[in-house]
Homo-oligomer: A and B are copies of this chain.
Amino acid sequence: MRFDRFFVMQPEDAARYARHRGFFAPDAALSCREIGDGNINYVFRVRDEATGQAIIIKQAGETARISDAFKITTDRVRIEYEMLRRYNELAPGLSPKVYDYDDVMHCFAMEDLSHLTIMREALIARRRLPHFVEHITTFLVQTLFYTTDIALDPKEKKALVRRYINPDLCEITEDLVYTEPFTDAKRRNDPFPPNRDWIAREIYGDAALRREVAALKWQFMTEAQALIHGDLHTGSIFVDERETKVIDPEFAFFGPIGYDVGNVVANLMFAWAHAEATIEAEMERSDDLHWLEQTIAGVVDRFQAKFLAAWRKDARDPLAHDEAVARDYVSRIVADSAGVAGLELARRIIGLAHVKDITSIADPERRARAERILLRTAKMLIMRRVAHRDGADFVETLKAARAREDASLASTDGE
């Protein structure tokens, strides 16, 4: 079979394809496994049995792998490939290297990262990641500040905006993150049954909350602030104790910077809730929570510090040479991040796509409590987002939500 016309590859095709593209010697003995765990793409690991060397081939189908009825543009793979190349330039070492792009087969080849672990799994396994805060904040500032109008030539930026308009993938976010969790509009939400009534009352029943969500949605749909990753949860990050690699930027487009920062923060909060609910020994739990709280606060604070440093060094707009202007700008990003963190918490609990940090809490009561703590956190983050000025504010909100949940439980017990 040749590769001059698109088809969805099987592992044996991917191995032959990798050889065909010159990644392996013609006589190499190759093995290949499909290792994709997402809903829409195919990911092949092709390995030379003799040398142990491997590469990844990622392919996009013309429909999602979970459903032929779900058509989704293959342009996403072009965007993902180009973004990874940009990441390698803007934030070297913090993404897989990419080798090759094929717009016929809608696939590209990249560095094999199988020595690393998906961050969500690492956090559930209670691994400490001593460099994560520094790595991810460098990644955020390098990829985000340097694609704003503050740092780029405005015409070059507008050309990039045009290049990365991403209607299909934005629609997924608009529906699943910004709309459905607060309205159950398409009846696709999937709340944990014990919390169903609570969610109906506290979320669907809260018009003031929906009003703030609407404002955040219009911002997501209109604000071309920087070239964001668009799906930066802990399932999009490979880690170990030394390395951090961001993957999967197929949702990339020019959107609000807070969308990326807020997703990182929210997904650390899932890990916090997991630890809170599952670690039995008091001392161990408190240690783990403390590390996660420091990590949450560290992401916000180091992001701000590095963003301001990059601004001072490289802002090119004539109005930008003023510390107060820079601080206004970054404060607004932090407030936006709080709002987005709230949205991500809510949608992963109420909406269609859940996270293992929560679903793996075996005890139903503990899981229900963890969810309510995070949903209370979500509401506070959304409603009082401008009150969130630094990392400590985020941690305080999380703890206040736990205190409220415990107080509410205590008062219910007394009924």
Contact = CB atoms under 8 A, between A and B. Distances in A.
B211 A324 contact: yes
Given A167-B158, A222-B223, A207 B174 contact: no
Interface stretch (A8-16, A77-85, A179-187, A195-203): A179-187
Interface in A165-218: 165-168, 170-171, 174, 178-179, 182-183, 185, 207, 210-211, 213-215, 217-218
B167 A154 contact: yes
The oligomer's copy count stands at 2
A152 to B, nearest CB: 10
A170 B158 contact: yes
Given A155-B171, A158-B170, A159-B167, A320 B224 contact: no
A325 interface: yes
A171 B157 CA distance: 12
Contacts of A224: 222-224
Given A154-B167, A155-B171, A223 B221 contact: no
Given A165-B161, A222-B225, A319 B170 contact: no
B165 A207 contact: no
A179 B225 CA distance: 19
B218 A183 contact: no
Interface size class of A (residues with CB under 8 A): 35 or more
Contact of A214 (B155, B162, B167, B322): B322
Contacts of A320: 214
A317 B159 CA distance: 28
A328 interface: yes
Nearest to A158: B167
A222 B227 CA distance: 12
Contact of A319 (B166, B179, B254, B325): B179
B207 A328 contact: no
A171 B150 CA distance: 14
Contacts of A318: 179, 183, 185
B210 A319 contact: yes
A324 B328 CA distance: 27
B174 A214 contact: no
A165 B84 CA distance: 25
A112 B86 CA distance: 50
A318 B218 CA distance: 12
A329 interface: yes
Contacts of A215: 325, 328
A149 interface: yes
Nearest to A332: B215
A154 B174 contact: yes
A178 B154 CA distance: 13
A149 B214 CA distance: 12
A223 B174 CA distance: 17
Interface of A: 149-150, 154-155, 157-159, 161-162, 165-168, 170-171, 174, 178-179, 182-183, 185, 207, 210-211, 213-215, 217-218, 221-225, 254, 317-320, 322, 324-325, 328-329
Given A150-B218, A214-B320, A218-B225, 18 more contacts: A149-B222, A158-B165, A158-B166, A158-B170, A161-B161, A161-B165, A162-B165, A179-B317, A179-B319, A182-B319, A183-B318, A211-B325, A214-B322, A214-B328, A215-B328, A217-B319, A223-B223, A224-B224
